């Protein structure tokens, strides 16, 4: 069984692999899918700035590549004075693969500092029902 501590360690480890030569801001994300497996991602920047991808996007892509579609919990870690939350685009990415029980853990290098739900971070996400005309 994976503990929150193990998930945090995985996020910390993948953060070391971040490619962030422009912002110099490394981010790591480790999520546990409902299949019990851990998927990780780090931010990967690009000289054409908008082409860069966030850590969460990498972890979500990796989970999907393993045919898992639901996040049980995710740890996002960065070294920042203020605790970072996923950016707006990543909140929407996480919303696609979360349910009301999915936990989002916000961490600094010392450990998880705050845990919340996606609804708390993104109360009015764009949802599939919005596609209905
Ligand atoms: N970043 C993430 O990877 N995840 C977040 O939740 C916030 C921001 C990255 C994007 C960019 O490479 C760097 O952090 C600075 O914004």
* pLDDT tens digits along 12-32: 999 999 999 999 999 999 999
How far is residue 98's CA from residue 95's CA, in Å, rounded to a whole number? 5
> Given 13, 45, 56, 128, which residue is catalytic?
56
> Where are the domains positioned within the chain?
3-131
* pLDDT tens digits along 27-68: 999 999 999 999 999 999 999 999 999 999 999 999 999 999
Classify residue 8 by its DSSP letter.
H
Q: How far, CA to CA in Å, does 133 sit from each of 95, 125, 129, 130?
A: 21, 17, 9, 8
Three-state secondary structure along 39-64?
EEEECECCCCHHHCECHHHHHHHHHH
Give the count of alpha carbons within 13 A of 105, CB side only.
Answer: 27
Whose CA is closest to atom 13 on ligand 1? 25
Asked whether 76 lines ligand 1 (CB < 6 A), one says yes
pLDDT at residue 63 in the model = 98
The pTM for the full model equals 0.96
How far is residue 105's CA from residue 34's CA, in Å, rounded to a whole number? 16
Active site residue 56: yes
Pocket test for ligand 1, best of 87, 116, 122 (most atoms within 8 A of CB): 87
How far is residue 100's CA from residue 65's CA, in Å, rounded to a whole number? 23
Asked whether 20 lines ligand 1 (CB < 6 A), one says yes
Q: Is the pLDDT of residue 1 over 80?
A: no
* pLDDT tens digits along 55-107: 999 999 999 999 999 999 999 999 999 999 999 999 999 999 999 999 999 99
Q: Which CATH number fits domain 3-131: 3.20.20.450, 2.40.170.20, 3.40.140.10, 3.40.50.11900?
A: 3.40.140.10
Classify residue 81 by its DSSP letter.
S
pLDDT at residue 72 in the model = 98
How far is residue 133's CA from residue 116's CA, in Å, rounded to a whole number? 32
User: How remote is the CA of residue 80 from the centroid of ligand 1, in Å?
Assistant: 11
Give the count of alpha carbons within 13 A of 58, CB side only.
Answer: 21
Asked whether 28 lines ligand 1 (CB < 6 A), one says no
Asked whether 60 lines ligand 1 (CB < 6 A), one says no
- Which residues have a Cβ under 8 Å from the Cβ of 36 and sit 6 or more positions away? 1, 2
């Amino acid at each position: 069984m994976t503990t929150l501590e193990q998930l945090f360690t995985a996020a910390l480890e993948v953060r070391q692999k971040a490619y962030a030569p422009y912002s110099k801001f490394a981010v790591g994300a480790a999520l546990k899918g409902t299949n019990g497996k851990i998927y990780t991602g780090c931010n990967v920047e690009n000289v054409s700035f908008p082409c860069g991808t966030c850590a969460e996007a990498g972890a979500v892509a990796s989970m999907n590549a393993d045919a898992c579609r639901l996040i049980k919990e995710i740890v996002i870690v960065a070294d920042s004075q203020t605790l970072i939350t996923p950016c707006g685009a990543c909140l929407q990415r996480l919303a696609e693969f979360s349910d009301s029980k999915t936990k989002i853990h916000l961490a600094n290098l010392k450990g998880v500092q705050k845990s919340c739900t996606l609804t708390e971070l993104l109360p009015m996400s764009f949802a599939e029902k919005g596609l209905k005309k």
